[in-house]
Amino acid sequence: MRSRRINWTVTILVALGTLFILFPLYMAITISLKNQEDMLGSVFGLPTHWRFENYAEAIKMTNFFQALGNSAFVTIATAVLTLLTNSLVSYAIARNMDRKFFKGLYFYFISAMFIPFPIIMLPIVKLTSGLGMTNLVGLTILHTVYGLAFNVFVYVGYIRSIPTALEEAAKVDGASTWGTFWRIIFPLMMPINATVGILICLSTYNDFLLPLIIISDQDKYTLPLVQYIFQGQFNTEFNLAFASYLLAMLPMILVYVFAQKWIINGVTQGAVK
């Protein structure tokens, strides 16, 4: 019979399973703090001398703060721009699904989810360099535009569940369509905005392929791109490489520690919708 007591067997199994998740991270952290002698010594042991200088060296070598600034700019700008524009587009579509034009748009956007990026990848490089968009602003615009395919799908489903009564009342009071959206509908969309915002931040911050093909100027590298470019220079200095990897992941891990419940809920909602 099912009892209210804690099932210790399963608790222990679940706890043992986390070792598989945590082991690579344990290795990354200990190696990032080792000196060259420790690197040659015990592989699994803790560092005999905690060498925090590795982090200072990695920061200097990879110009970490510049890359962090670039990643932060692209991630935040993409999130803000996405929330403001994609929600508006989805609102117009969701409230006019009975009209051919908007219904057509809906299927136009969501069918793009089936188009794999490589088919766009080769021509988009020519296009962006022709338009002078091989920079962080260009990257932000591309992320925002490509997000439409998935975001319209998620947003439209949500907006259609909001009753139209409020909008009709506002219309009677003489409010404009724009005003109605920003003052009434947008605030009601906050739960789904959180979901979209979290997914956009995760995918933009960790994205590697788009910066790889768009960005050529070293001052504009994002964090994942920096790790790729510096692979050759880290050479056998794995302690420096690991310090650099951890620094690149740290901002997202910190956000995760504090907003873990939000992030998990957001990601789940995005998938179930």
Q: How far apart are CA 44 and CA 35, in angstroms?
A: 14
At which residue do the structure tokens 């995918």 appear? 203
Shortest gap between Cβ of 209 and another protein (angstroms)?
Answer: 6
- Residue from the set 79, 83, 242, 243 that interacts with another protein by CB under 8 A: 242
| C-alpha distances in Å from residue 153, one per residue of 25, 71, 140, 273 | 35, 26, 20, 8
At which residue do the structure tokens 């891990």 appear? 253
Q: Does 122 bind another protein (CB under 8 A)?
A: yes
- Residue from the set 209, 216, 218, 233 that interacts with another protein by CB under 8 A: 209
Of 45-53, 58-66, 76-84, 137-145, the segment contacting another protein by CB under 8 A is 137-145
CA dihedral over 171, 196, 215, 117, signed as positive or negative: negative
- Residue from the set 188, 213, 237, 262 that interacts with another protein by CB under 8 A: 213
Q: In the window 74-113, what residues touch another protein (CB under 8 A)?
A: 85-86, 88-89, 91-93, 95-96, 101-102, 105, 108-109, 112
Which residue, 128 or 220, has its beta carbon nearer to another protein? 128
Q: Does 20 bind another protein (CB under 8 A)?
A: yes
Q: Does 221 bind another protein (CB under 8 A)?
A: no
Q: How far apart are CA 121 and CA 123, in angstroms?
A: 6
